[in-house]
Structures are given as C-alpha cells and as structure tokens.
Amino acid sequence: MAYPSSLTDTQWQFIEKILEAETLQRKRVWPLRSILDAIFYVIKGGVQWRMLPSYLPPWQTVYYYYRKWRLNGCWEMLHDCLSKKVRGKHGKEDSPSVGIIDSQSVKTVQQGGQRGYDTAKHVKGRKRHLMVDTLGLLIVLIVHRADVAERQGARWLLARAASRIADFSRLRLFFADQGYSGLVMWEWVKNTFRHLNWELRIVNKIYKKVFQALPKRWIVERTFGWLNLYRRLSKDYEYLTKSSETMIQITMIHIMLKKLDK
C-alpha cells in the first residue's frame, strides 16, 4: 500500500545506487525501498516505531537500518548528495556561499535526555539551530537544550560548519536576526574564523504597520515551515540530541526528493 510519504519510482532512482553501495555487505529479506518507505512513514505520520503497519517491514528491521545509518553517517552522506542535486537543478554550485541562521524552540516529551527552559519563548525542551542556504536547504544543524542562549548556539553551529569546511569551501557570509547581534558576537566570528574570511550580518526588523518579510531571514523561516509539516518533528520525541538531528536530516531528504521529482 502506498502512502503520501512513500517514494515514487523517480524519487527512488535518485537514491537507489547510493544506498545499494552502502549496504552490499548485508543480505536482506526486505527491499531497501520498503525500509525507506517505513522510515518516511514514521517521520511524516509521527507514529512510534512499534506502531508501523503490519504490511510494512517489521519495526525492528526498520529501526535497525535507521540506527545503523545514523551511526555510520549514511544519512548525512545521502543528504549532502541530494542537496548538491537540488542546487544543481537550480543552476547553483555544489557548495553554498551564503548561510542563514536561526533557531526553533520545541517541547520535549517524557522520554528524557537533554532539555531546558527557553524563557523568551516559554518553551521547555530543546532548540533546533539551523543554517540553510539561499534555497532553504540545510547546510548544518545542531540540537541542544532550549535554555542555551542564541549566540552560544550559533557559536556551536558555526564551529560545526567550520569542521566541514572541505564540503563548504565557498561559505563566506552569514545572515541572522537581532537575537545574534552585538559587537562581541561579531568580533568572535571575525577573530575565530579569520582564516576563512567569514562575516556575520544582522538583519534588523522593519518597523512598518504592514507585514514585510525580512531580507534573507524569510528563507530559514520557510525551512522551519517545511519541517512543521512532519508530525514526528511537532515535538522532540528523541532521547538523544543526535537522534533529533538525524530526524531533521531524514525530513530534509524527503523534502529534497520531492523537489527533484517536480
């Protein structure tokens, strides 16, 4: 049975060879496409692993592949491959030159793990810190306690981007809102990443009676809007923040596959 989250034939063709190359060492009873359909079903529908329909692969098998690909970096590799394909479809270089930064505070459940209270947004849970390109595609992300300040979260995010500079060699300019403003933050970026010539620009609010989208900033807000359409991300249901990051990566993989299928 096909669901709205299931892969189409065209979407499967984009990733079939990549996944087959990663999983040659294991004999399979269930086809990889069915396993991916089950994982996307969990992400889109927000169900628990044990509540997968009986005509999908057993939840133990599905979770095995989800966890294995999280630990060996397969999800990240697949995400980056698709990101390059989408960027190429829009006539852009593989590596972005501009990053837009923002965070989203979400509630956690009684699963345990890291959590904190965001006093500004009155949310007890975690923050999803994202850096996206001008198409709204994910560059890097980090999930942390909600009580961590925006500027500190941005420092961790930029440090993670710097650790992958081989993949994002063209990155130079970053846009953020007023929550990241301040001379200390600007100087930290300039001094810490002097060898990379990175620059942080703050997009100030436009005080008008009518609504107006802020330049560049609306792009990352749209990405959060895409993520909100996946019920597994309505809250943070994961015990590990690393699992939370993987769930976002899988969601973006599904989004990019739909973009390539248009």
Grade residue 205 by pLDDT with cuts at 50, 70 and 90: low
C-alpha 79/C-alpha 125 separation (Å) is: 26
Buried b / exposed e along 14-45 (16+ C-beta atoms within 10 A)? bbeeebeebbeeeeeeeebbbbbbbbbbbbbb
- Residues above pLDDT 90, as percent of the chain: 76
Q: Provide the 10 A C-beta neighbour count for residue 63.
A: 18
Buried b / exposed e along 131-146 (16+ C-beta atoms within 10 A)? bbbbbbbbbbbbbbbb
Query: Is the per-residue pLDDT at 210 higher than 50?
Result: no
Residue pair 100/217 in contact (Cβ under 8 Å)? The answer is yes
The values of phi and psi at residue 142, to 5°, are -150, 140
Query: Is the per-residue pLDDT at 244 higher than 90?
Result: yes
**pLDDT tens digits, one per residue of 142-181:** 999 999 999 999 999 999 999 999 999 999 999 998 888 8
**Helix, strand, or coil here: 260?**
helix
Which structural domains are found in the chain, ordered by start? 9-71 (no CATH), 94-236 (3.30.420.10)
C-alpha 202/C-alpha 176 separation (Å) is: 5
Query: Is the per-residue pLDDT at 235 higher than 60?
Result: yes
Grade residue 1 by pLDDT with cuts at 50, 70 and 90: low
**Helix, strand, or coil here: 123?**
strand
Q: Which of the given ranges, 26-30, 32-36, 212-216, has the highest pLDDT on average?
A: 32-36
- Look at residue 211 in the predicted model and tell me its pLDDT: 46
C-alpha 181/C-alpha 200 separation (Å) is: 9
- Look at residue 48 in the predicted model and tell me its pLDDT: 94
The distance between the two most distant Cα atoms of the chain, rounded to a whole number of Å, is 62
Q: Mean per-residue pLDDT for 170-194? A: 89
